[in-house]
Amino acid sequence: MKIRFPTRVTLRSLTVSMESGVKIVADKASKVFFGKWNYVSRLANIEVYDGGEIRFGDRIFFNKNFSVVSRYKITIGNDCQFGPNVCVYDHSHSYGEDVPISKQGYHGAPIVIGNNVWIGAGCFIKAGTTIGDNSVIGANTLVINDVEENSVICNKVEMLLL
C-alpha cells in the first residue's frame, strides 16, 4: 500500500484492510474517510484533488483494479460491493477549441452511492449521479443517470446474453 499525504486520510477504525499495490493520493486541501471493515483489493487507485472529498461507509468491498477519483465529493454508503475494474469519477475534462486540453481544467458534480449497492465488473459511474439503496448495477454498465432505490440496471448487451 502506498499513501501520499497520510494526514489527509482518516480511518474510523483499524479494520480497514488493503492488499498490495493500493495507491491513495490526497492533495493539500482534500480528504479521504474510510469507515469500518473496508477491504480494498490489489491495484486499487483512490485519488482526491482540488479540495475534493471521498467518504466510504462501513463494510465495503472493493475488488481489484477499482479506481475512484474525486475533485468534488463522492459518498459511498454501507454494505456495498464493487467488482473488478470499476471506475467512479465525479469530474470530466472541460473542452473548448481555443485552449489546449491540458489547460482547460475540469467540471463535475458529486456522486452518491447508497447503502447495500452491488456494482458489477467494469462499470463506470459518471459525475452527478446518485445510486439508490439496495440497487444492483450489472457488469460493464455506464451509469450516466440517477438510479432509483431497489433497482437492477444492466447493459443492453448483457441482457441479450442472459
Q: Which one from 1, 29, 93, 105 is the annotated catalytic residue? A: 93
| Pairing, β 106-108 against β 91-93 | antiparallel
Active site residue 93: yes
Nearest to 109 by CA among 124, 94, 89: 89
Question: Which cell numbers in the block locate residue 66?
Answer: 477499482
Name residue 106's beta-bridge partners. 93
Residues involved in catalysis: 93
